[in-house]
Structure 1
Amino acid sequence: MWLSRIKLSSFPIRRFSTYFTKDHEWVSYNAASKIGTIGITDHAQSQLGDVVHLDLPEIGTHFKQGDVIGAVESVKIVADIYSPISGKVVEINSGLSKTPELVNNAAESDGWVAKLQVDKAEELEKLLDRVKYDKLLQEEAH
């Protein structure tokens, strides 16, 4: 059979994993670089309404898991953004200052908030995977 001739090593190894918090933040973790890209979830942005401003963390600032790293201001409310993982900010999405609506249009991709050099990858175990996060959303809807 043709499957027996395929080497498992020919398939790419998944280097990125995305995790979620109960407070509706996400982190996409790159194990090779130990960089976590963080932002708010699509669900969070939909609850906020039109995003008009973001307070972003400063590069070089260190945060612990659960610390407030910034804020998102919408036409409805101002909400804190919590760090899903401990680490030092190595990059911010500076484009959000001119186009904060990126958070509404692509919250879990181009609307990312910051990138952290992750201190403790084991903290990811405290977070939710996509299936558990989707289940949380279903429970909150009821």
Structure 2
Amino acid sequence: MASFARTILRAAPRLAVAAAPRIVAVPRLTRGFAGTSNLNEIVKKYTSDHEWISLDTASDSNIATIGITTYAASALGDVVYVELPEVPSAATTGEPVGAVESVKSASDILSPVDGEIVEVNAALNEKPGTINRAPEGEGWIVKVKVEGGVKALEAEGLMGEKEYMTFVET
């Protein structure tokens, strides 16, 4: 199967930049037992193969969520099938953790980090089109326990939102 990058390169002339993601994770306010406020950030990064990964810094679990970007979902067209991995299984940077088939093509979903797959979005078995409706929300693919937490996301050289937007536009 092709990666999203190769699939999108073929479709790029037909895609509008407007399909790029508009929302990244926003810091959220939480309350502790003492009533004090803590600002917790969800770190969200993107790959050149059009996958995204987010990690909530408030949690010590180091569980990150992985999916495909809005841009990739738009390039694929209507998603008709999602191949999900077994739980638990290993996730290795640059290796497939599943696949997405659409009316236009099939593409591997590549892991942006090393870790252990701890959960899959089983709802996609019944409703694969969820990826088209909310690729960076309900349409997530897998959850991975990341070795190294936030530092692992930074070490992998993943792009922030502005970098990804620039990458998509060029």
TM-score range, shorter chain: 0.7 to 0.9
Scaled by the length of structure 2, the TM-score of the pair is 0.73
Contact 1:55 1:71 (8 Å CA) reproduced? yes
- How many residues align structurally? 131
Q: CA RMSD in A?
A: 1.4
Which SS does the other structure have where 1:137 is aligned?
helix
> Residue 143 of structure 2 corresponds to which residue in structure 1?
115
| Identity across the alignment (%) | 40
Residue 41 (structure 1) aligned to one of 69, 82, 92: 69
Letter of the 1:13 counterpart: L
Q: Work out whether residues 17 and 29 of structure 1, in 8 Å CA contact, stay in contact via their aligned partners in 2.
A: yes
1:123-138 equivalences under 5 Å are 123-125=152-154, 126-138=157-169
Query: 1:67: Cα distance to partner?
Result: 1.0
For normalisation by structure 1, the TM-score amounts to 0.87
Helix, strand or coil for the counterpart of 2:98?
A: strand
Give the corresponding residue for 2:28.
none
Q: Secondary structure at the match of 2:39?
A: coil
**SS across alignment from 1:13:** strand
Shift of 1:11: 5.0
Larger Rg: 1
Gaps spanning 5+ residues in structure 1: where?
Answer: 1-9
* Conserved? CA contact 1:86–1:120, under 8 Å: no
Extract unaligned runs of 5+ from structure 2: 1-35
1:73-116, CA deviations, whole angstroms, 9 ceiling, x for partnerless residues?
A: 00000001000111101110000000000000000000000100
Specify the alignment match of 2:47 in structure 1: 21
Distance 2:126 2:74 in 1: 20
